[in-house]
């Protein structure tokens, strides 16, 4: 089944404790992206990757890191989480950059930083 | 820069009736795509429908249709014959060719409630 998977689905952590949210897709997509969703703000892009070893900042990159060492994986790293990073996080992938390329979303990771 | 505006934080509709969810957008791109996503209470994002800026026909997918008015920069979602399972948050989103990151820019969302 074609899908985007994220782990963990739920995470409660404390300020300053480094964490990684994994994202993997099995569709051989070139483009991958991370979004965060906050009430009243919709989804906002954090980072994106056009291909292996090619990553760039989105709208809200502060406090996050990413890497793309393999085509299928795009982990999101929070080196020192803070309470304002409490949010619902989505990983997404699409075949490429074309406008009509649908972005497939993972199931989401609900993160709480105390 | 591109911006999506959804002015209806919440909408209510009776089962079996049609409902229109509003979406207006702003962009300087000549070529762009408009998407609608559904987010049920379980949280996942479900793609509903796509409209390209150069598509002459309004997009339709089953009970979903997109009322695209380019001059007015609006891309309203019409759901016909509403069902209880349509109760969810609905997001309008845009993807522009010249926009950095080829990202989707989302609106704030509209919470739709279908009443029996």
Any CB–CB contact under 8 A between A89 and chain B?
Answer: no
Question: Above pLDDT 70, what percent of chain A?
Answer: 100
For residue B98, name the pLDDT band (cuts at 50, 70, 90): low
Question: Above pLDDT 90, what percent of chain B?
Answer: 84
CA distance B47 to B49: 6
Note the pLDDT of residue B1.
78
Query: How confident is the prediction along chain A (114 residues), in pLDDT tens digits per residue?
Result: 889 999 999 999 999 999 999 999 999 999 999 999 999 899 999 999 999 999 999 999 999 999 999 999 999 999 999 999 999 999 999 998 888 888 999 999 999 999
B residues 48-77 near A, CB within 8 Å? Answer: 50, 52-53
Cβ neighbours, 10 Å, residue A112: 14
If we measure between CA atoms, which residue out of B115, B116, B111, B96 comes closest to residue B35? B96
Residue pair A44/A35 in contact (Cβ under 8 Å)? The answer is yes
Q: For Cα atoms B105, A54, A83, give the angle at the middle one, nearest 5 degrees.
A: 55
Any CB–CB contact under 8 A between B108 and chain A?
Answer: yes
Give the one of A33, A50, A90 whose C-beta lies nearest to B45's C-beta. A90
């Amino acid at each position: 089944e074609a899908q985007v998977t994220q782990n963990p689905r739920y995470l409660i952590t404390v300020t300053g404790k480094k964490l990684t949210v994994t994202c993997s897709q099995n569709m051989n997509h070139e483009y991958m992206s991370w979004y965060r969703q906050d009430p009243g703000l919709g989804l906002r892009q954090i980072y994106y990757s056009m291909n292996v070893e090619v990553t760039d900042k989105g709208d809200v990159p502060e406090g996050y890191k990413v890497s793309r060492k393999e085509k299928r994986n795009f982990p999101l790293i929070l080196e020192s989480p803070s309470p304002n990073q409490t949010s619902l996080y989505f990983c997404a992938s699409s075949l490429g950059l074309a406008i009509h390329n649908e972005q497939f979303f993972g199931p989401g990771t609900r993160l709480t930083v105390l | 820069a591109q911006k999506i505006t959804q002015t209806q934080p919440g909408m209510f509709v009776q089962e079996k009736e049609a409902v229109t969810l509003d979406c207006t957008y702003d962009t300087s791109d000549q070529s762009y795509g408009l998407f609608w996503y559904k987010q049920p209470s379980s949280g996942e994002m479900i793609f509903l429908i796509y409209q390209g800026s150069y598509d002459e026909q309004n997009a339709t997918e089953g009970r979903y249709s997109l009322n695209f008015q380019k001059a007015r920069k609006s891309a309203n979602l019409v759901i016909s014959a509403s069902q209880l399972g349509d109760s969810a948050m609905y997001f309008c989103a845009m993807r522009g060719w010249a926009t950095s990151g080829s990202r989707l820019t989302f609106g704030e969302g509209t919470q739709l409630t279908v009443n029996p």
